[in-house]
Amino acid sequence: MNTNDDLPRIDRRVAIHWMLGATATLATRDAPLSAADAPIQAKGYGPDPVMVKAYKPGDVWPLTFSDAQRRTARALCDVIIPADDASPSASAVGVHDFMDEWISSPYPAQAGDRKTILDRLKWIDDEARKRFQKAFADLTLDQQTAICDDLASPNAKDKKAASFFKRYRDLTAGGYFTTPEGMKAIGYVGNMPSATFEGPPLEALKHVGLA
């Protein structure tokens, strides 16, 4: 059962949407301050996308971040998920690009995040300059952590900034642990074909008192 006789597939439609979106992005980049309010012009991937293709941010709709926004977003991602001996940092696996894709989404569910994140990326840079006289990305890890500690605290004075930080944390962590490197870091070792399924190993059964 092949698809030769069927309706045209998505590719052409996506290409058109991408071109429309690209035009919108050029306009946005002329006035980065208003990016958070600029309506998304691009369309989604439609109801019949090619599922087997491996997509990356920017493949289906154009991205939004200016260079400055991208730098701040990247630095914030890495404060949230730093590298350690066993696994890479968030930016090393492109989580900041996912963040850009997320806030550039044409779907309604991401519209709120778009405004919040674009507004707050500017805010966090302003905060960094106010406290340490440098952009957030140029601060030391201790300085960055000091700002984030305040946002993460249950006593955070600026509740909106705090709720932004939690949302950004959730997206960063989710974006990270859904990559192969992140899966390894969290302890997911599936997605590997095998001739047999042996059930839980003895150590796992012992761990919960079943052996």
Of residues 83 through 102, those in contact with other proteins by CB under 8 A are 84, 87, 93-94, 98, 101-102
Report how far residue 10's alpha carbon sits from residue 50's, in angstroms, rounded to the nearest whole number: 7
Considering the rule CB under 8 A, would residue 39 count as an interface residue with other proteins?
no
Return the number of the residue (133 or 194) whose C-beta is nearest other proteins: 194
Considering the rule CB under 8 A, would residue 165 count as an interface residue with other proteins?
yes
Considering the rule CB under 8 A, would residue 33 count as an interface residue with other proteins?
no
Residues 6+ apart with CB under 8 A from 173: 80, 81
Does residue 108 sit in helix, strand or coil?
A: helix
Pair 181, 87: CB distance under 8 Å: yes
Considering the rule CB under 8 A, would residue 19 count as an interface residue with other proteins?
no
Return the number of the residue (33 or 210) whose C-beta is nearest other proteins: 210
DSSP secondary structure letter of residue 187: T
What is the size of the binding site for other proteins (CB under 8 A)? 83
Query: Which residue's structure tokens are 């300085």?
Result: 143
Question: Least distance to other proteins from the beta carbon of 114, Å?
Answer: 12
| 52-71 positions binding other proteins, by CB under 8 A | 52, 54-56, 59-61
Considering the rule CB under 8 A, would residue 37 count as an interface residue with other proteins?
no
Report how far residue 99's alpha carbon sits from residue 204's, in angstroms, rounded to the nearest whole number: 36
Considering the rule CB under 8 A, would residue 103 count as an interface residue with other proteins?
no
Does residue 20 sit in helix, strand or coil?
A: helix
Considering the rule CB under 8 A, would residue 41 count as an interface residue with other proteins?
no
Interacting residue with other proteins among 41, 66, 143, 145 (CB under 8 A): 145
Pair 156, 162: CB distance under 8 Å: yes
Which residue type occupies 84? D
